[in-house]
Amino acid sequence: MTTIYRLVLEFQPFPVISPLVLGFPEDALTGTITLRVDNAVTYEFSEIMTVKWDYRELVAWFTRNREALIEERLPAFIGWRTSIFESMQQFYRDDDALDAQDDEAFEYRTRHQLNFGLRGLEVAPTYLGRGPNGWEVSGERNGKPFVYRIDLPGFLERFREARAA
């Protein structure tokens, strides 16, 4: 039986620093954003990333890509490896794709690679989406690949509720 982890996004706003001073729009919600997986049974935590950025920008990306994150699978021409991250890495290493396949792979990345929700930051490629074994978050941290099975619909529901409030 595969463990399904809970994905957690935490936000700590910057105290008394205007977003304008940091180069963000006045309505930005700037602070420290941490994404981690949490196994409620064993209380193990694994940090995926910590960045200082505009929280609203990242939430907008999750909201905009919700359906694709939950439903869309890797394009058929991308061979499956152990994770979405490993599959995409191998696709780009092979370097024998047609232009149309490169375009489709890039479009997939815009909807599934967390980096696109953090435009302007340099962070290690991290993917959210649906693989053959269920929903996952996968990428590389400190030079080591990782993959966690997650409750992605449950995670994204948080942003639907926030928008409705």
Model confidence, pTM: 0.90
Of residues 89 and 16, more confidence is placed in 89
The pLDDT, as a whole number, for residue 117 is 96
Got the DSSP string for 94-157? H----HHHHHHHHHHHHHHBGGGGSTT-----EEEEEETTEEEEEEEETTEEEEEEB-HHHHHH
Token pair of 85 as six digits? 């991250």
Structural contact between residues 16 and 40, judged by C-beta atoms closer than 8 angstroms: no
- Distance between CA atoms of 70 and 126, rounded to whole angstroms? 16
pLDDT at 53 over 50: yes
pLDDT per residue over 78-90, tens digit each? 999 999 999 999 9
Token pair of 95 as six digits? 């370097």
In which band, very low, low, confident or very high, does the pLDDT at 43 lie, cut at 50, 70 and 90?
low
Of residues 153 and 163, more confidence is placed in 153
> How many C-beta atoms surround the C-beta of residue 74 within 10 A?
21
pLDDT per residue over 108-153, tens digit each? 999 999 999 998 899 999 999 999 999 999 999 888 899 999 999 9
